Copies of this chain bind each other. A is one copy, B any other.
């Protein structure tokens, strides 16, 4: 595994792989790798001939009041883990390598960003879109892999890719969960024992909503109320949002036709967790 800290080292390694006829896969991460990341890496190893993982805690996607400073950084554990997977390249740049002091260029998605996390975290997706555009230009992958856990992020990156004509295919891989159902997240490390228990309410509420929809409930209001009630029963939980939206435009839906996204963000103590699922209602019999 090549560990590249600069853009030119990275480009050189990718160029050589290309010369050998390899297709290039990219898995952009912020490190503190878990099984969710590993599933993306495995998909890349399967579908491409050269897999590059980037580890970069992107300051641009954190608000001043968010957890940029305390975000888990576990480089040596990550490195060890990545070596085992068979990844070809680890791009591990410094903040200065990615953002020059006079950085003044941003990529912004202006439609999907108005909903869900975009509302709660102004500037977040601008930071994400900007760094992903940079990574696409640095590594020039054929395929880039993202997790469905960050559903809105994945949709926005798809829009950025087609909107700016990046010659990159976006693959979105399923959410990976712990045995009890909690979605894998680097931020789970922030939770204490009680919070970890309370956090399970997110998954439980998704399951409840799936069941309601499957049993024919198409009224978003009813489903959201039941989800909120379940989550609010946990002492450490404070809901940021519970929303049911169109799966592509991310616009809120009052009525579910066929499919809808249920997305939620909940503070468990001080830790903001997100999760989502696709609700499928019973088809009308004609």
User: Which A residues are within 8 Å of any B CB, using their own CB?
Assistant: 7, 11, 100, 102-112, 129-130, 133-134, 137-138, 140, 159-160, 162-167
Contacts and interface: CB of A to CB of B under 8 A. Distances in A.
5 contacts: A103-B163, A105-B107, A107-B133, A133-B164, A134-B164
Contacts of A109: 104-105
B111 A108 contact: no
Say whether chain A's binding surface is mostly helix, strand, loop, or mixed: mixed
Contacts of A112: 104
A179 to B, nearest CB: 39
Given A105-B107, A167-B11, A100 B162 contact: yes
Total identical chains = 2
A105 B105 CA distance: 13
Nearest to A106: B108
A159 B11 contact: no
A160 B100 CA distance: 12
Contacts of A7: 165
Nearest to A167: B137
Residue among A100, A108, A111 facing the most chain B CB atoms (10 A cut-off): A108
Contacts of A129: 105
Contact of A165 (B106, B134, B160, B164): B134
A21 to B, nearest CB: 12
A137 B164 contact: yes
Contact of A107 (B102, B164, B167): B164
Contacts of A130: 164
